[in-house]
Amino acid sequence: MGKKTNVAIAIAAAAGAAWASTKAISKPQSRTPKEALEYEQPIILAHRGGSGLAPECSLAAFENAAKLGVHGFEIDIRLTKDEEIIVFHDEHLDRVTNLSGKVADYTFAQLKEADLGYHFVDLEGSQNYRGCGEQIITLGELLDTYPQMLINMDIKDAPQTYEGSLMPSKLWRLLEEKQAYKRVVVTSFYDEQIDRFNLYAQNTVALGAGEKEVKKAYTAYTSQFKHLYHPKADVFQIPVKSNVFPLDSAGFIKFITSLNIPVHYWTIDDPVVMKKLIENGAKGIITDRPDLAIEALKLD
């Protein structure tokens, strides 16, 4: 054998030895079950209340989705100028309300003047929610109104902002006050926000996976070192694709669920895609069209 061949064999042997040694000392740890995530059949979460059918994050949307029979809501939360946690997605108010500027520049009392139906266009093409009194609500109001629902909340305020620095502790205190530990999931695109919230929660609340956690899991899945992945999340709520990387394969779903972590996909409005994801092992569908999801999955 030539010198290059000998080097290649030596490298392969070293890699094999590294794999064997890490395999021997590292055992994947399944997540401890959380009551909020204990369900036998796939679930449907109405995205912002089902924003394809009524103004997003409005009581009209949440009530409509509840009547359709969804299992819960997927929402976004932000902090106001006077430190109220509200149910709202965008940093700026312009897209869905008659107000302009940033959420953080307004008190909750001022935000009550916002018309959530101002820009909404329903399926028939009319703006029939404008001026109908749909207002921004607090997270506390939503928890009180729907005590039977699973509520998945995404912290939108970035950790480096003033609002973001306060949100983890404010959120924990609210969940303590409402005794809502067992019926919520707390997540964020910012892994740091999830970690900071968990400093208060101490694993008593189900946690979602941030962007870094998802990347870490996918990297482990596509390598020979799956056994080195130790999850920090209780549920993965992910798109079907991240950049060029597919996240919807049966193999990836099986890898995550083998660690006692259900996988939910957002935002899925195509019934064919919904059915395919469930066939691949997904445990939840997050959708703007809960009416289509209920029919497609035939859930009771």
The tens digit of pLDDT for each residue in 203-244 reads: 999 999 999 999 999 999 999 888 889 999 999 999 999 888
pLDDT tens digits, one per residue of 69-126: 999 999 999 999 999 999 999 999 999 999 999 999 999 999 999 999 999 987 776 6
In angstroms, the CA 50 to CA 103 distance is 22
Please report the pLDDT score of residue 126 as a whole number: 65
At 127, the pLDDT band (50, 70, 90 cuts) reads low
* Each residue's pLDDT tens digit, 159-198: 999 999 999 999 999 999 999 999 999 999 999 999 999 9
Report which of 148, 191, 196 is spatially closest to residue 172, judged by C-alpha positions: 196
Q: Which CATH class is domain 31-297?
A: alpha beta
Q: Which H or E run includes 153?
A: strand 150-155
Rounded to whole angstroms, what are the CA distances from 280 to 133, 140, 247?
A: 42, 36, 11
d(CA 79, CA 98): 19
Locate tokens 């009581």: which residue? 59
Domain boundaries, the chain: 31-297
Q: Are 206 and 232 in contact (CB under 8 A)?
A: no
Measured CA to CA, the distance from residue 150 to residue 186 in angstroms comes to: 11
pLDDT at 245: 87
Residue 5 has pLDDT above 60, yes or no: no
Q: Which two tokens stand for residue 248?
A: 């919807």
Q: How far is CA 203 from the centre of its chain?
A: 17
CA triplet 12, 13, 14: central angle to 5 degrees?
90
Is residue 233 classed as helix, strand or coil in its secondary structure?
A: coil
User: What is the model's pLDDT at position 164?
Assistant: 97
Does residue 35 surpass a pLDDT of 80? yes
Angle between helix 211-221 and helix 191-201 axes, rounded to 10 deg: 100
